[in-house]
Amino acid sequence: METLYDLWGKRNPQWEIKYQESVIEFFSDYGKGVNQYQDIRGKIFGAGYEVFILAFFIGLYHNQTKPLVDDKTKRKVFGQPICHWGDIENRDGRDSNEKKIGRSSYGRIREYIFAALIAKTDIDFIALDKGDISSRDVVNQLMNKMEQYANFGFNFIREKLDDNPNYFFNETAFLRTFLSFLKESDDKAGDSMSEILPEEL
């Protein structure tokens, strides 16, 4: 019997076409493929789904979702199921000490995404165990949450680029983005603590 993780891994999340040129193609070689003869300079990512993963984590860390447009003709998929995202290392294949020429395998990231979705999605596991809802229903919920987190992330990235096209072209730009979310979280936690702590005498 297939697990929820297996079923989720077979799916292909949707994203809004309006982000294809403005975000996905801007940062990646989406639709072009990568090999040792191709000039890939100037792109931060290889495959388009790598930008999707980044957008997902921006939405997750910000704890914000954004529903996709209702019109399904304005949505798209990458054409590769989640279970194959980042599972192939590109090598030049010329000798036994093969040199990596593209992305490295990062299958653990898929596990982290799935764990985050389980934690952040309101799933009735008792109903699932009783058979009142199907595994497919649960995976649909997980996919919907995943797509909404990524959609917020895409929107966030595009707004930053609209304000400053060079915003992300710094080696620490994405790191600073995630650290800013953590700082906001710490600030909120500090404010909450100040409300419950007694005033100093």
| Spatial contact of 61 and 181, defined as CB atoms under 8 Å apart | yes
**Does 201 fall in a domain?**
no
Q: What pLDDT score does 165 carry?
A: 84
Domains of the chain: total: 1
**Does 143 fall in a domain?**
yes
**Does 181 fall in a domain?**
yes
| Spatial contact of 115 and 122, defined as CB atoms under 8 Å apart | no
**Does 33 fall in a domain?**
yes
**Does 20 fall in a domain?**
yes
Host domain of residue 116: 4-196
Instruction: Look at residues 184, 64, 61 and name the one whose alpha carbon lies nearest to residue 116.
Output: 61
Q: What pLDDT score does 14 carry?
A: 97
**Does 126 fall in a domain?**
yes
**What CA–CA distance (Å, rounded) separates 167 from 170?**
7
* Residue reference for tokens 């199921």: 81
**Does 91 fall in a domain?**
yes
Averaged over successive runs of 10 residues, the pLDDT of the chain (201 residues) comes to 93 96 85 47 71 94 95 94 77 47 70 97 95 96 98 95 83 77 62 51 40
Q: What pLDDT score does 167 carry?
A: 82
**Does 45 fall in a domain?**
yes
pTM across the whole model = 0.78
